[in-house]
Homo-oligomer: A and B are copies of this chain.
Amino acid sequence: MKVLVIGASGIIGSAVAAAFAQHQVIRASFSKSDISVDVANPESVRALFDKVGKVDAVLSAAGQAAFGPLRDLSDADFAYSLANKLMGQVNLVRYGIDFVTDGGSFVLCSGVVSRRPMAGGAALSLVNAGLDGFVRSAALELPRRQRINAVSPGWVAETLAAMGRDPRVGTPAATVANAYYQAATGTMTGRVLDVPAL
C-alpha cells in the first residue's frame, strides 16, 4: 500500500508511520516532514493531494484544538478548534476522495474526550464528537468501496511522559497506531475505534 500520513512528525503520527514500515509511507505535517501541510488551510490541503497523487490510505493524526476552562475559551479558540482539528480532517476526506484508490480508506483522529468528558474539554469534546459523527455518516456515501473510520485514543503514554506525568496510565502510541493499521487494512467502515476500549 501507498499511505499518506498527516501529522507524521507527532507522537501518534510517527508511530502510525512506523506501523506501516512494510508499505510506502508519505509523511506530511505542519513543519517537520518531507511535505508541509496546514490542515486548517483548505488551499494547503488541496495542494497536498495535488502533490502526492493517488494513495491507498489517508491516515490523519493531525489537528489542534483549544483546551481550557469553558469561561476562558474565546470565540477565537472555538474558531481555531473548528478550523484545525475538525474541518482540517473533514477536508482531508472531502478533498481527498478523488485521490484515494478504489477500496482505499481514510482514518481520522478524534479522541476519548468525545465520550468521557473532562473539565477544560468543552471545545475538544465538541470537535472529537463532531468527527465521530462525520465519520459515521460519510461512510454511507464514499464512492468506489472507499472506507472511513476514526481512531479515538485516550491519553497517550508518550504524551503524558512529555508532560512530566505518569505514562503508565496512558496508552502506548504503538497501540494507537495499531488501530490505524487495522482500520486501513481491514474491512470496517463508519467505525469509531476507542483505544483503549474502556
Contact = CB atoms under 8 A, between A and B. Distances in A.
Interface of A: 42, 69-71, 73, 75, 78, 82, 86-87, 90, 94, 97, 113-115, 117-134, 136-143, 190
Number of copies: 2
Given A114-B133, A117-B140, 19 more contacts: A69-B141, A70-B94, A71-B97, A71-B141, A71-B143, A82-B82, A86-B130, A113-B137, A117-B133, A117-B137, A117-B190, A118-B140, A122-B141, A123-B134, A129-B129, A129-B130, A129-B134, A129-B136, A130-B130
B125 A133 contact: yes
A131 B97 CA distance: 27
A86 to B, nearest CB: 8
User: For chain A, what secondary structure do more than half of its interface residues adopt (helix, strand, loop), or is it mixed?
Assistant: helix
A78 B73 CA distance: 22
